[in-house]
Structure 1
Amino acid sequence: MTDFERNLSRLSDEEGRLALRSLGRGIEREALRILPQGLLARDPHPHSLGSALTNKWITTDFSESLLELITGVNTSVDGLLEELGDIHRYVSRHIGDQLLWPQSMPCFIDHQEDVPIAQYGRSHVGRMKTLYREGLKRRYGAKMQSIAGVHFNFSLPKSLWRALQGDSDQETISAGYFHLIRNFRHQAWILPYLFGASPTLCPSFLDDREVTLEFETLPSGLLALPWATSLRMSDLGYTNSEQSNLRIRYNSVEEYVSDLKRAITLPSERFAQLGLEEGGQRVQLNTNILQIENELYSAIRPKRTAHSGETPSDALARAGVEYIEVRTLDVNPFAPHGISRDQVLLLDLFLLDCLLLPSPCWTDECQQQTQRNFDTVVTRGRQPGLALEHGCGERKLLSQWLGESFDRWRRIAAEIDGEQGRDYLEALDQWQPSVSDPAKTLSGRILALQTREANPVMALAQSHRQYWLQGQSTRLSEARLEQEAAESRQRQRALEQKQSGSFEEYLERYFKGNE
């Protein structure tokens, strides 16, 4: 019996199956607001959506134009998507004739200055968030920061830890999540292969910079990388060459926190050349490789809900891992939610597989190999006969490796579905053809559509808008979302009124607490 089979058998009784049906999930969906003509909407964050600083369901990411829609934790997949849908519906009814851009790579943006940086008011915390984004703009450019994604938050009930590990104390739970994270990173290429949906981009995104990738020009003028799955996850997307030498280990909370705290203090000669101030105004938080911990790009993060003023690493050190955040998902242009129900079900199976497989300790060699595989798949994952590095000096066909994963996922799906239905098995059936036929992946489908038609993404945006305007709320009523918007504005005003000391003193206290 393999380790996977042994672990799965521990979840095969009634208690284990109940635990498998009690997974916690949350979604954070990003989307640019665009005008009916397909251009970026540059107006401020709409007042009717509340305060972007304090609204728990609707905020902004890098830009005033880049919405972020956030659900709470749901143990029901349908409940999760209903909540996300109600937030979409409310937003669609409160942005006039604007639409949500349904793709990760941005629409046409002429100049970097056309992207308005997100504003969060006069409070110290709000000013810090805006200054951090000004630093991102100076470091990487506003266009790159306008890329949208979907983040998937995932947690396991204590009953599952007890069934699997025999204990559910926080030390056991944290170790289990890092076990999952190590396997996730080893297999992370699976997600852009299946769910990557950004094989094309608007030429305006490149901003006349030189690229080594061999793009083809589609009849519409879009640039396409023929075998790509996710340009969002490539060096053209979220990239920071300064971070390439950071070594963040995923063997334990202690190692991870130690490495993160070390990384946050490392100076950058390149970013120092940008300067800390311009015209007497600060233009970045500091000149280190990372301004704050959130600037570290990672495909997956261990998370703990932080107290006010607490850094992510301090929260982890205080109370251990609460959940994990998957950050590799492109926006699904075919799904009004930005993610489909069957994708959520497959994510459950993928993450449970990462938990049940044996998970060796993380080494620099592991990190380099997994990164090479990931980079290969995002730029040419649909290339026929593609093989990836597997083990020491060996290679395995992508289709064979993924087929083996699907076989394990079917065994997990059978346990979750039990006699109550076939939801997970049907989701697998829907995606099984993608294993051997890359044209069935999201990137294959959207590339085919963009090759055939002149402006299909805009048509999808209009279709999604009609979908939301015609539907009815199910979980979050219009009145409840209006109430949260109003209360969030009150919370922001209260923050601004009660603060004391200068902004510089606030920053000094924040960074001193991170030492």
Structure 2
Amino acid sequence: MSNFAPTFANFDIPSWFKTQHLAGMLRGIEKEGLRVRPDGYLAQTPHPAKLGSKLTHPFITTDYSESLLELITDPKESPKETLNMLRQLHVLVYKALPEEELMWPLSMPCMLSANDEDIPLADYGSSNTGKLKTLYRSGLGIRYGRRMQTIAGLHYNLSFGDGLFEYWHTQAADTQNQTQKQAENQPQDQNQAQSLSAFKNAKYLGLIRNFKRLTSLILYLLGASPSVCPCFLAGREHDLELLNDSTYYKPTATSLRMGKLGYTNSVQEHLDIRYNYLPEYVDGLRRAIKTPHESFQKLGLNDADGNPIQINDHILQIENEYYSPIRPKQIAASGETPTEALERRGIAYVEFRAIDLDPYSDVGIRLSSACFLEVMALYCLLNDSPELLPAEEDELAINLERVVNEGRREGLTILNNGSEQPLESWMLDHLSNMQPLAALLDAHYGGNDYRAAVALMQGKAGHSESTISAQVNADSERLGSMWQLGFTLAQQHRDSLLQQTLSPNTQAKYEVLAEKSILQQAEIEAAETEDFMQFLQQYR
């Protein structure tokens, strides 16, 4: 017998839920991509000056490495508008890149040098905040190796309108919500505001727990990293096979990026950070930031010359080091940590992080994938979501590892409430439950993008050869290597993006932003009075 509460059993859309409750939904994308030279090796050039300051530009920055671009859209009212802005940012980047440089379209890097030091850390200038960002990256490099940090992904950020939570809250105004935090010395309306905020946090955390339960579905449907370049495996134990001379793979893998070979962290496996209540989540993260870790202590805080090499020697240097397929988020004010922002203002949106770059899209994600993620998010939000405890987390980790390594193997089973179930039937059950939600989203936005997205995913669930990961393997074999596939697609994307033009207005807007960001960085640096070592001591 399973000891888990049943989840997703016979899902029905709540009777009160109508299309108008979808008003106010917002989504944004953060997309990473390596800059590479025409010979496939990592670009060693600095971030293009035309793109402004990495420290202060709102839309164009870098992630781990100076060569790892990160493009960030504004929150938009429809998936099409979001993808449109993401495409504008790609056009801007290509117009600013040194000649012949390309944006690598795959999540897994290729042709890395054998020397880790050839992966340049992102440089954010001479201000203390800028130096701290670079120091954090230095710490990641000495802890896990720089190679792992060059893996690129895409984050899909999503929020639902306040109208939905307000209406839902009144519907669910049972005694628990009425009595929660009824402090006698508070005016009634403040109680209401507080309990609405607590209600919203609870619902977003429920979405997160359910998304974690369904992560394997995302990896199968959107996974696009079934293979790696030999350079990525140097000095690591692995059980991959050779596809050809210059590509290692697993014949039925989906997303090696999300498995033990990819962006994972054995130190974090036992952190037991939970998503049942917001204070519990915040406490778990803070505990990890305050707890020293033996292997990181051995690395030391500073090098032989007294220069700092990591922010601290704790399990996490900062909150962002915690790796999770999905995170609750609140926009942090200047000088505020992510957990302080969550604690003070609650959850504003969720960040889906388990998404590989789609190498066949010039912007790394197709409209069908974006629409599917939104249907799935709504499905996770409206379903019951019992507490997620370590025993179930362990089961989900087993499923994830199976789907990462052999998600397309015929007859693969996963654990569902303690018993084995064929992956295919499990996926098809959930996808058919999602159809009515896709219809509601289409009714709200017009058109049939959401229903088409779910139908497409149903086709992939039943025919593994139509998944992106199967296509990547087939094309790598046909072209001779994963590198050849990446290079061919990168050139195609560059050519198509450079044919697109931005309106004079849009072009001017981005030029002003770039100039403004450079001035902002200069202002921050000019106002700096404190010595970095003093600043760091205080921070530590």
- Specify if TM > 0.5: yes
Corresponding position of 1:184:
211
Match status 1:506 vs 2:510? no
Corresponding position of 1:193:
220
Query: SS of the residue aligned with 2:156?
Result: strand
Instruction: List runs of 5+ in structure 1 lacking aligned partners.
Output: none
CA distance in 2, matches of 1:176, 1:114: 45
CA distance in 2, matches of 1:282, 1:505: 12
CA contact (8 A) 1:144 1:238 kept: yes
Q: Tell me the CA shift for residue 164 of structure 1.
A: 3.1
Deviations 1:2-38 (A, max 9, x none): 9875544322xxxx31332542100000000011222
**Which residue among 512, 525, 529 is the counterpart of 1:483?**
512
**Equivalence map 1:8-407=2 (5 Å):** 8-11=14-17, 16-20=18-22, 22-96=24-98, 97-110=100-113, 111-166=115-170, 169-211=196-238, 213=239, 215-219=240-244, 221-278=246-303, 279-391=305-417, 393-407=418-432
CA distance in 2, matches of 1:475, 1:84: 17
Deviations 1:289-320 (A, max 9, x none): 11111111111100001111111111111110
Match status 1:443 vs 2:469? yes
Aligned partner of 1:133: which letter? Answer: R
Q: Tell me the CA shift for residue 155 of structure 1.
A: 0.3
Q: What's the % identity of the aligned pairs?
A: 41
Q: Tell me the CA shift for residue 456 of structure 1.
A: 1.8
CA contact (8 A) 1:4 1:358 kept: no
Q: Tell me the CA shift for residue 499 of structure 1.
A: 2.1
**Equivalence map 1:419-434=2 (5 Å):** 420-434=446-460
Q: Tell me the CA shift for residue 239 of structure 1.
A: 1.7
CA distance in 1, matches of 2:504, 2:430: 35
CA distance in 2, matches of 1:432, 1:484: 42
Q: Tell me the CA shift for residue 218 of structure 1.
A: 2.1
Q: Tell me the CA shift for residue 372 of structure 1.
A: 1.4
Query: SS of the residue aligned with 1:395?
Result: strand
Q: 1:3 to 1:476 in 2, by over 3 A?
A: farther
CA distance in 2, matches of 1:388, 1:335: 30
Q: 1:5 to 1:234 in 2, by over 3 A?
A: closer
Aligned partner of 1:479: which letter? Answer: A
CA contact (8 A) 2:24 2:162 kept: no
CA distance in 2, matches of 1:281, 1:505: 13
Deviations 1:249-281 (A, max 9, x none): 101111111111111111111111111111210
CA distance in 1, matches of 2:146, 2:268: 19
**Range that drifts further, 36-45 or 58-67:** 36-45
How many residues are aligned here? 503
Aligned partner of 1:180: which letter? Answer: L
Q: 1:291 to 1:396 in 2, by over 3 A?
A: same
CA contact (8 A) 2:11 2:433 kept: no
Aligned partner of 1:144: which letter? Answer: M
Instruction: List runs of 5+ in structure 2 lacking aligned partners.
Output: 1-7, 172-192
CA distance in 2, matches of 1:4, 1:307: 42
CA distance in 1, matches of 2:137, 2:158: 27
Q: 1:3 to 1:20 in 2, by over 3 A?
A: farther
Aligned partner of 2:233: which letter? Answer: L
Q: Tell me the CA shift for residue 216 of structure 1.
A: 2.0
Q: Tell me the CA shift for residue 506 of structure 1.
A: 2.3
CA distance in 1, matches of 2:166, 2:434: 22
Q: Tell me the CA shift for residue 473 of structure 1.
A: 2.3
Corresponding position of 2:5:
none
CA distance in 2, matches of 1:175, 1:103: 36
Query: SS of the residue aligned with 2:509?
Result: helix
CA distance in 2, matches of 1:20, 1:476: 31
TM-score by length of 1: 0.95
Q: CA RMSD in A?
A: 1.7
CA distance in 2, matches of 1:38, 1:475: 33
Aligned partner of 1:505: which letter? Answer: Q
CA distance in 1, matches of 2:204, 2:156: 15
CA contact (8 A) 1:8 1:412 kept: no
Q: Tell me the CA shift for residue 165 of structure 1.
A: 3.3
Q: Tell me the CA shift for residue 148 of structure 1.
A: 0.3
CA distance in 2, matches of 1:87, 1:245: 39
CA distance in 1, matches of 2:13, 2:337: 34
Q: Tell me the CA shift for residue 474 of structure 1.
A: 6.1
CA distance in 2, matches of 1:402, 1:475: 46
